[in-house]
Chains A and B, each alone.
Chain A
Amino acid sequence: MTLWRLEWLRLVRTRRWIVLTFAYLFFGLLGPVSARYMGEIVKRFGGGVTVSFPDPTPADGITQFVGNASQIGLLVAVVVAAGALSLDATPEIGTFFRTRVPSLARILLPRFAVTSAAVIGAFALGTLAAWYETVVLIGNVPAGRLFVGWILGAIYLLFVVCVVALVAARTSSVLSTVLATVVILLGLPIVGIVPDVAEWLPSHLVGALDGLVRGVNYTDYLRAAVVTVSAGIAALWAAIRMTSRREL
């Protein structure tokens, strides 16, 4: 049994991978359907109110997916990551690991890597589902732009897992890790209200998939991508350092 296999088993035996995959896949399948049939849905359940919608564009299918995935999907990802990265949530389990490994990086890196892979994999499945349904139901979506948008979204998700690791180094339970991380992630867009700051923030990447499909220039996300990667690496490094220095 290795620490890598342990993390794999954590995903499989606790069925966390199913929850993650379901969250992203569900919205990947539902987003384009709701974009395509929103008019009919409102007409059927609108109680006689007439609302006219413009014909859906292929980008609308992706927009619906991104809107749901960046809320519910992200929350599920944070919970799954917090469950894996809150090493000291159960002090006796923390003692088991801390007193055996020469360096805490050996524990945290597999937890970070496996959780990140699961989150990004689920996001990929959701994106593929949204792409397929959009093409089938509404129209063609440029694959190159979709792929780059997915890459940028994945970078943001990696950053989120790094933030979870950093928060978990200071908190004492899974719940407090989740809550503190959510507060930080919600705080970023608020900081972005300051003029000219938003495009530098990691939260700018949340809408990259949607924006690129709608024709936004690639370079609009370059600064946020560089900041996000740098901040993620710094957060992970700080998480390992703070967890190592923490008293149990």
Chain B
Amino acid sequence: MIRTKGLTKRYGDVLALDDIDLKVAAGSVYGLIGPNGAGKTTLLGILAGLKRPTNGSVEMDVSSSDVAVLPDTPRFDAWLSAREVVDLARNIGAKPAPPDRVETVLDEAGLTDAADRPIGGFSRGMLQRLGLAATIVNEPQLLLLDEPSSALDPIGRREVLDLVSRLRGESTVVFSSHILADVQEVCDTVGILREGRLAYQGSVSDLLSKRTTPRYLVRLRPPIEQTVEALRQADWVVAVDQLGPDQVRIEAASVAAAESSLAAVLAQTQARVVSLVPEAATLEDVVLGIVT
């Protein structure tokens, strides 16, 4: 669907993007993450055709009329109503959807009750919902969403994530976000930008499994000091953190070592095990490890 080669963007002396080779599969939800100034908005701008790369190329299997863009802070002429904005978005494209689609997307965005109000009085969250409605009204094949849930309350954020999830398979979605939990939830592929370079690109599951250290949370009946000491002596244990009088976090050298030896140490110290769970790595842990 999208393939960039050696994409570079320079603003004077500032290198905003440096040799980006992006690969976005058709029908996937691609999360673009990275700290402020990493180049996410510039990359989306180039994909949208709003900016020209200094070097490199962009190949897309979709015509520009099937691409829709949602800026991070959508704004519209304040004297229009929400219904007029969505109808305008529907009508001015190369392939307008049927008029009844306007009501459908207003409903999906939760704006039916406010559809005829001038948008000059809309909150930022409502504008973001409106921007999303205007973005999806013509059912584009490619959606470029710049922080689509950043201004939304928890309910609005949930609705946006559900909407993006529903689009999977029907449209290709590239969305940037600072909310890594959102990316982890809805994206099947992520690209991590750091200082204009693509520091990682691949599936979320690969990122989480390959880049994390196996950790386990173990809850025991006190006293637990003898068990903690035994774990610290074990050669397969990287670190042991006592989190309280009855809880310990164990970081192992490998999953295999932990699976074969952890139970033995607990048995040898006659620990009374209440629970033992592998501590799942979050995308936030992994991304922080990459970008810092």
Name A's B-contacting residues (CB within 8 A): 1-3, 6, 9-10, 13-14, 90-93, 95-102, 106, 247-248
Q: Is the beta-carbon distance between A99 and B67 smaller than 8 angstroms?
A: yes
C-alpha gap A97/B69 in the complex (Å) = 10
Nearest opposing residue in chain A for B90, CB measure: A1
C-alpha gap A92/B52 in the complex (Å) = 18
Interface residues of B in 224-244 (CB under 8 A from A): none
Task: List B contacts of A100 (CB < 8 A).
Answer: 68, 89, 92-93
Q: Is the beta-carbon distance between B51 and A101 smaller than 8 angstroms?
A: no
Q: Is the beta-carbon distance between B71 and A92 smaller than 8 angstroms?
A: yes
> Smallest CB–CB gap between A48 and chain B, Å?
53
Q: Is the beta-carbon distance between B134 and A96 smaller than 8 angstroms?
A: yes
Q: Is the beta-carbon distance between A248 and B51 smaller than 8 angstroms?
A: yes
**Residue B88 at the A interface, CB < 8 A?**
yes
Task: List A contacts of B50 (CB < 8 A).
Answer: 95, 98-99, 247-248
> Smallest CB–CB gap between B168 and chain A, Å?
22
Q: Is the beta-carbon distance between B92 and A101 smaller than 8 angstroms?
A: yes
CB within 8 Å for A247 and B51 given contacts A10-B79, A96-B74: yes
**1/0 contact string of B24-39 vs chain A (CB within 8 Å):** 0000000000000000
> Smallest CB–CB gap between A222 and chain B, Å?
40
CB within 8 Å for A96 and B93 given contacts A13-B79, A247-B51, A248-B51: no
Task: List A contacts of B92 (CB < 8 A).
Answer: 2-3, 97, 100-101, 106
Q: Is the beta-carbon distance between B93 and A95 smaller than 8 angstroms?
A: no
Interface residues of B in 30-76 (CB under 8 A from A): 45, 48-52, 64-65, 67-69, 71, 73-76
C-alpha gap A102/B48 in the complex (Å) = 13
C-alpha gap A6/B29 in the complex (Å) = 34
The CB with the most chain A CB atoms within 10 A, among B45, B48, B75, is that of: B75
Pick the contact of A99: B49, B73, B88 (CB < 8 A). Answer: B49
C-alpha gap A152/B76 in the complex (Å) = 37
9 contacts between A and B (CB under 8 A): A10-B79, A90-B75, A95-B69, A96-B89, A99-B49, A99-B50, A99-B69, A100-B89, A247-B50
CB within 8 Å for A92 and B91 given contacts A99-B67, A99-B69: no
**1/0 contact string of B92-107 vs chain A (CB within 8 Å):** 1110000000000000
Q: Is the beta-carbon distance between A93 and B51 smaller than 8 angstroms?
A: no
Pick the contact of A96: B49, B76, B79, B94 (CB < 8 A). Answer: B76
Task: List A contacts of B80 (CB < 8 A).
Answer: 6, 9
The CB with the most chain A CB atoms within 10 A, among B69, B88, B92, is that of: B92
CB within 8 Å for A6 and B88 given contacts A93-B75, A99-B67, A100-B93: yes
C-alpha gap A1/B79 in the complex (Å) = 14
> Smallest CB–CB gap between A4 and chain B, Å?
11
> Smallest CB–CB gap between B65 and chain A, Å?
6
C-alpha gap A154/B52 in the complex (Å) = 39
- Contacts beyond the supplied A1-B84, A92-B73, A247-B50: 18 A-B pairs with Cβ under 8 Å: A1-B88, A1-B91, A2-B92, A9-B80, A13-B79, A92-B71, A92-B75, A93-B76, A95-B71, A96-B134, A97-B92, A99-B48, A99-B49, A99-B67, A100-B92, A100-B93, A106-B92, A248-B51
C-alpha gap A106/B91 in the complex (Å) = 12
Q: Is the beta-carbon distance between B49 and A1 smaller than 8 angstroms?
A: no
C-alpha gap A59/B67 in the complex (Å) = 59
**Closest 6 pairs (CB-CB, A-B):** A92-B75, A13-B79, A1-B88, A1-B87, A248-B50, A99-B69
Task: List B contacts of A93 (CB < 8 A).
Answer: 75-77
Pick the contact of A9: B68, B73, B79, B94 (CB < 8 A). Answer: B79
> Smallest CB–CB gap between B147 and chain A, Å?
13
> Smallest CB–CB gap between B131 and chain A, Å?
8
Nearest opposing residue in chain B for A90, CB measure: B75
Q: Is the beta-carbon distance between A2 and B91 smaller than 8 angstroms?
A: yes
